A and B are shown apart, each in its own frame.
Chain A
């Protein structure tokens, strides 16, 4: 089918309890108000699901949402969002994913799928344009992601279909379970895989045909020419990412002293270079895993001994190497492989093992309970085997599968879990990146780097270089990054385009493809609207503004080496200004005036 103007204008609703499958129109004005993807799905979630719901109950819903640019000729147009209430955090979960599944859903004629209820036994869903069916998946339950994908492509009967599925971790409703698509791409965080597992939904396989065309062909042609050139000419998107992948970050983050090492006990890992993007390219890279029509092509395909597959990404390399004190990249590749196969968030899994290592080494976990390799920093055996045991729910692995916060709390030391709102912090120490730490504390889905990636400015100098160690004006920057990112996520293109493009470029893409005449201000206001919608959902879900904080280690224990030596994170110097800039009260609650201004009441 030809999707002109970016939106199919239709969603697919699947009730697994009643087995009722329906389609509904998406009102054009609503779609534009929330752009699509992350924004539109959050709007539907907030409207249809009581924020106080138990995330693993049939009353929760799982939304898989594309944006108007998904599947189009826009740059890096492969993205969709898995939106739900996250079991890990109890907050809104909104997990971004690349690959090919999102575009295929558009070609099948749907902007979004809403999954409700719970099937009585394991099922999978096939989508072939209007032909949508629920199938028995008893024979697939327990299978790894690769096996599941192979089996479903055969059963579906089309090798060009796209498979989205969970592995055993999601089936067990683990807190760190992710949703995988196209074998190696992940909607990683917040336990979205557990929600799918709680509904007994093993997979959604989709096949469509057609393309997404702009509303204004000539305008789009001009815009595309300009943005494609910017992405090609930019050194990050045109050279560094294609050559070294996201693990290109390892050495620069390490050299400026903010590479969290051994569960955030220090910020410099002496063996980082041996487990870096450079080392990966030199020793293990055998190809690339490129998303739909993407010219940036950052995705890696690596081989170590008898293990091969997509990844590892920067965050994965960090979580399993520096955070666990391991310098062996082959072991990282093997741990990443288990995450792909069992369907585990690599950040959560690696960081949870790191937390367990600190708990174990400090004598807080009785060794008799650890039925596997000792949980010691630096153990290559531990990072690989405990990932497998976590995915399989074996022995102590079932406790690791709870995530670091619940694990650390169980053993009496929740302060050793490096999380915000129970979600593991990623690969940058905020004591040496003050603005980025504010993003960690305020991100609507808990400990998250991408929603307001201040590292871009504070370390990488994009769009301009800020001093990472100061707090002045950081609140302004964090809000700006968060609002623009919400808009980009909702458009359905990859955030990595923003290393080369600016807000005006996204405005131009939106206007040409959707047939609008928005100003950049309107695009950013839509982003701000989405941010406030998520915040409001969280507050109603019981996430208190008191949780806009960081672990005590990061607020009280200074780093001791390198550039950030002597620094803690000074959240209190920025948070009040951030709340004020957002138009929230000093209590961190959006005011009625702000919500009215954003048309959210």
Chain B
């Protein structure tokens, strides 16, 4: 299946902003991180279609996965 991956902030460095990826189902955000060689501890916030999920959530065809490092501000 294909999913769209959006990277933000420091995760973009040396990588990309948005990419459509082919993944073998069943797949989770943790699987995407392995595929993209992003260390798990570098990701603090994962959204799938705008909703907060954990790393082991089940992805579906066409999902938009947004990945963020630790963010703060005010």
A residues apposed to B, CB below 8 Å: 234-237, 239-241, 243-249, 251-252, 255-257, 268, 273, 277-278, 298, 313-315, 449-450, 453, 456, 459-462, 465, 467-468, 495-496, 499, 561-564
Interface residues as binary, B54-74 with A (CB distance below 8 Å gives 1, 0 otherwise) = 000000000000101111111
Contact A563 B9 (CB under 8 A): no
Quick check: is B49 within 8 A (CB to CB) of the other chain? yes
Smallest CB–CB gap between A299 and chain B, Å? 12
Q: Give the docked Cα–Cα distance between A462 and B9 (Å).
A: 18
Contacts of A257 in B (CB 8 A): 50
Contact B74 A314 (CB under 8 A): yes
Contact A563 B50 (CB under 8 A): yes
Contact A314 B73 (CB under 8 A): yes
Contact A256 B47 (CB under 8 A): yes
Which residue of chain B has its CB nearest to the CB of A465?
Answer: B52
Interface residues as binary, B1-32 with A (CB distance below 8 Å gives 1, 0 otherwise) = 00000101110100001000000000000000
Q: Give the docked Cα–Cα distance between A499 and B74 (Å).
A: 11
Interface residue from A252, A273, A564 paired with B71 (Cβ < 8 Å): A252
Interface residue from A239, A562, A563 paired with B69 (Cβ < 8 Å): A239
Contacts of A239 in B (CB 8 A): 10, 69-70
Q: Give the docked Cα–Cα distance between A298 and B66 (Å).
A: 24
Q: Give the docked Cα–Cα distance between A239 and B69 (Å).
A: 10
Contact A467 B71 (CB under 8 A): no
Quick check: is B51 within 8 A (CB to CB) of the other chain? yes
Interface residue from A449, A450, A467 paired with B52 (Cβ < 8 Å): A467
Smallest CB–CB gap between B21 and chain A, Å? 17
Contacts of A563 in B (CB 8 A): 47, 49-52
Q: A240-B10, A256-B47, A563-B47 are in contact. Are A249 and B73 (CB under 8 A)?
A: yes
Q: Give the docked Cα–Cα distance between A459 and B68 (Å).
A: 11
Q: Give the docked Cα–Cα distance between A248 and B74 (Å).
A: 10
Smallest CB–CB gap between A12 and chain B, Å? 30
| 7 A-B pairs with C-beta separation under 8 A | A236-B70, A246-B73, A255-B50, A255-B66, A456-B72, A561-B50, A562-B51
Q: Give the docked Cα–Cα distance between A103 and B8 (Å).
A: 36
Contacts of B47 in A (CB 8 A): 255-256, 563
Contact A251 B68 (CB under 8 A): yes
Q: Give the docked Cα–Cα distance between A240 and B68 (Å).
A: 10
Smallest CB–CB gap between A297 and chain B, Å? 13
Q: Give the docked Cα–Cα distance between A449 and B73 (Å).
A: 11
Smallest CB–CB gap between B11 and chain A, Å? 10
Q: Give the docked Cα–Cα distance between A390 and B12 (Å).
A: 39
Contact A450 B74 (CB under 8 A): yes
Interface residue from A256, A278, A495 paired with B74 (Cβ < 8 Å): A495
Shortest beta-carbon contacts, A-B, top 8 = A562-B50, A246-B73, A236-B72, A235-B70, A563-B50, A499-B72, A249-B73, A563-B51
Q: Give the docked Cα–Cα distance between A256 and B8 (Å).
A: 13
Q: A243-B10, A277-B9, A467-B52 are in contact. Are A234 and B73 (CB under 8 A)?
A: no
- Among B8, B17, B44, find the residue whose CB has the most chain A CB atoms closer than 10 A: B8
Contacts of A251 in B (CB 8 A): 8-9, 66, 68
Quick check: is B38 within 8 A (CB to CB) of the other chain? no
Contacts of A248 in B (CB 8 A): 9, 71-73
Contacts of A256 in B (CB 8 A): 47, 50-52
Beyond the given A244-B9, A246-B74, please list 6 additional residue pairs across the A-B interface where CB-CB is below 8 A.
Answer: A237-B72, A244-B10, A246-B73, A278-B8, A496-B74, A561-B50
Q: A248-B9, A278-B8 are in contact. Are A298 and B50 (CB under 8 A)?
A: no
- Among A240, A450, A453, find the residue whose CB has the most chain B CB atoms closer than 10 A: A240
Q: Give the docked Cα–Cα distance between A241 and B69 (Å).
A: 11
